[in-house]
Amino acid sequence: MTLAPDEDLMLQVRDGAGEMLGVLFDRYQTPLFNFYSKLTGDRALSEDLVQEVFLRILKYRQSYRPGTPFRAWVYQIARNARIDHFRKFSREKAFEPEMLPPVFPADSAQERQEVELLQLALQQLREEKREILLLCRFQELKYEEIAALLGCELNTVRSRIHRALQDLRKAFQRLAQDSLLRRAEAAAAKNLPAQGGRHEV
């Protein structure tokens, strides 16, 4: 059985088949949660915003037009929901790295550490750079969809992504060097007592 495209499901929702919203929820709940949690660092807020997105889909279903890519449309709603939230509430919550889900499954300790450093590096970027990378690399929106979402030219999207990737690479390398230095210092501190005395056989 072939899965119905998102656009077909949304047209059914628009025409009154509310149960189809549940199918879209199943498809988009996790990607939207990951988008929000990487952007805000707040799991509870991310869950609330995902719920808000689907409430808005239901509320504004009549505004959906045939031929509109659903993914781009839903991320426009997601961006607006987040912006509206922070207009009402200040951004007081500090980012906690453990709030973030892994970017991808990590099999080794080194991979897990790289994932953690990548997440920390992502959080060091300015919000607009973090958002454009999340949309492009994690949510896999096309450049054309991002351009429509941000209301800018395609070349502007390309250059913004390029600059954001450069900044991410620099932040990651800086964090990796700091981590290496801390591990070296910890190892040296652990070995100091042993180096100062004689080993008995």
Angle at 161 between CA 97 and CA 138, to 5 degrees: 45
* C-beta of residue 118 within 8 angstroms of C-beta of residue 75: no
Domain ranges of the chain: 1-95, 102-190
CATH topology for the 102-190 domain: Arc Repressor Mutant, subunit A (1.10.10)
What does the pLDDT look like over 155-165, one tens digit per residue? 999 999 999 99
What gap in Å lies between CA 91 and CA 69, rounded to an integer?
A: 31
- Confidence (pLDDT) at 91: 56
Instruction: Tell the burial category of 75 from Cβ atoms under 10 Å away from its Cβ (0-12, 13-18, 19+).
Output: buried
- Confidence (pLDDT) at 151: 87
- Confidence (pLDDT) at 47: 94
Same fold flag, 1-95 and 102-190: no
1-95: what CATH class?
A: mainly alpha
3-state secondary structure the chain: CCCCCHHHHHHHHHCCCCCHHHHHHHHHHHHHHHHHHHHHCCHHHHHHHHHHHHHHHHHCHHHCCCCCCHHHHHHHHHHHHHHHHHHHCCCCCCCCHHHCCCCCCCCCHHHHHHHHHHHHHHHHCCHHHHHHHHHHHHCCCCHHHHHHHHCCCHHHHHHHHHHHHHHHHHHHHHHHHHHHHHHHHHHHHHHHHHHHCCCCC
- Confidence (pLDDT) at 100: 44
Identify which of 119, 141, 140 has the alpha carbon closest to the alpha carbon of residue 130: 119
Q: Residues in the chain with pLDDT < 50?
A: 1, 92-106, 194-201
What does the pLDDT look like over 116-171, one tens digit per residue? 888 888 888 888 899 999 998 888 888 998 998 888 999 999 999 999 999 999 99
The pTM (predicted TM-score) of the whole model is 0.70
What gap in Å lies between CA 171 and CA 154, rounded to an integer?
A: 26
- Confidence (pLDDT) at 101: 44
